[in-house]
Every structure is written in C-alpha cells, then in structure tokens.
Amino acid sequence: MITREFEQFDIGKYQVQQHNESHVTLPDGTSIVQSGNRETGFIVNTTPPKPSFFVVYKYYYGNGNIREKAVVLGEDTYVGKSYQFDEQGKLTKETNEDAAFGKFSYNDVLHYLHQQKMINIHTGENRDRLHLKFNNIDGKKTWEADIEINGFNNLYVLDGETGKVLKKANHIPIRIVE
C-alpha cells in the first residue's frame, strides 16, 4: 500500500482543482481526499474500494515534499510500516507499527467483529463506522473497537494477547447540539 520512497505533492494540480479541498472517486471505487495549503502543509487520504478496511494517510510539508505516510485502520491505529521524512525529503524514521501489538492482531480483531456480525470483511460493510484503537498501558495490551449501528455504539474491549472479551457494551452516542 505504501513504500519508503520519496513522494511529492503536486501543488499546482491541486490549486487548479480546488483551493481548500478536493475529493475524487476513481472508477474502481477508491476515494481520494486532498486538503491543505502551503502554510500548514497538505494531507492526502486514500481509501481503497471495499472490502478494504484500511486508509492510506499521507502528510506533506508546505513545499510539497512528503512528511509522513502510514496505513491506518479504524481511524486511529497505524498498521504495517509507517515512514517519516525531513523537509528535504530524506527518510528519517521507519516504524514497524505491528511490533507493538500482542499476539491477537488487528486481523484477528476484524475476524472477531465479522463473527459478531458487526462488520463484514468480505463486503466492507460498516467499515466507515468502525473506530479501532490499540492500547498498551503498563504492558497491558488491549484493542477497543467501537461500531455505530442503528443509532447505538457497540463497544468491544479485547485482550491484545488472547483475544478474550474484557468488555462488551452498547450505548447511545453522545451528540453535542449547538
């Protein structure tokens, strides 16, 4: 999905398309959202077609050079390898994000949620409703999965080593109305 190779954001093409944000859906269903400016930098989020549950995040400096790229699952969890670059485009850090996880991997979490009929790994159903977070607090590794379905949030907390269900709850999400 991503490589350690240098990349550059095409600022000129982006400025022609739109000034603040650009959203394109390719014929295969891939969604590409671009936003940013020369002052704060640019962001490109690429969501492959279903059934993929992953999103590729790429952050660029204001000069268009790549700053960081990573594969993200459930909006919060970096998976696979991530890469960071300096402003000149030199690779400064390569991180194996999977090394932090326990024996119960993110793929195991996806399969568990599929068995619970919260998501469908074959069709991508509910991928946009899945928030997945990995925690490592004092050596205790856990996965928190929160899926909003039919107006309820379904929360699962799973042991990161064994996959044992530590908590399962349904609640109505809090909505802030202004």
> What are 68-124's pLDDT values in tens digits?
999 999 888 999 999 999 999 999 999 999 999 999 999 999 999 999 999 999 999
> Are residues 55 and 81 both part of a single domain?
yes
> Are residues 115 and 58 both part of a single domain?
no
The full length of the chain comes to 178
pTM for this entry: 0.87
Residue 155, pLDDT > 80, answer yes
List, for residues 127-149, the tens digit of each pLDDT value. 999 999 999 999 999 999 999 99
> Are residues 58 and 130 both part of a single domain?
no
Domain that residue 53 falls in: 11-98
> Are residues 70 and 112 both part of a single domain?
no
The domain total for the chain is: 2
Residue 75 counted as domain residue: yes
Q: Which residue has the higher pLDDT, 75 or 35?
A: 35
- Cα distance between residue 119 and residue 127, in whole Å: 7
Predicted confidence at residue 118, as pLDDT, reads 96
Computed over every residue of the chain, the mean pLDDT equals 93
> Are residues 136 and 164 both part of a single domain?
yes
- Residue 160 φ then ψ, to 5°: -75, -15
CB neighbour burial string for 124-133, b if at least 16 within 10 angstroms, e if fewer: bbbbeebbbe
> Are residues 71 and 150 both part of a single domain?
no
Residue 177 counted as domain residue: no
DSSP string, 70-127: EEEETBTEEEEEEEEE-TTS-EEEEEEGGGGS-SS-HHHHHHHHHHTTS-BTTTTBTG
Predicted confidence at residue 13, as pLDDT, reads 85
- Cα distance between residue 115 and residue 132, in whole Å: 16
Residue 137 counted as domain residue: yes
Residue 164 counted as domain residue: yes
Residue 36 counted as domain residue: yes
> Are residues 34 and 81 both part of a single domain?
yes
Residue 120 counted as domain residue: yes
- Cα distance between residue 108 and residue 155, in whole Å: 16
**How far does CA 80 lie from the centroid of its chain?**
11
Mean pLDDT of 51-73: 97
List, for residues 10-26, the tens digit of each pLDDT value. 998 888 776 556 888 99
Predicted confidence at residue 1, as pLDDT, reads 82
Residue 2, pLDDT > 90, answer yes
**C-alpha dist (Å) from residue 166 to 5, 95, 163, 169, 171:** 40, 29, 9, 10, 16
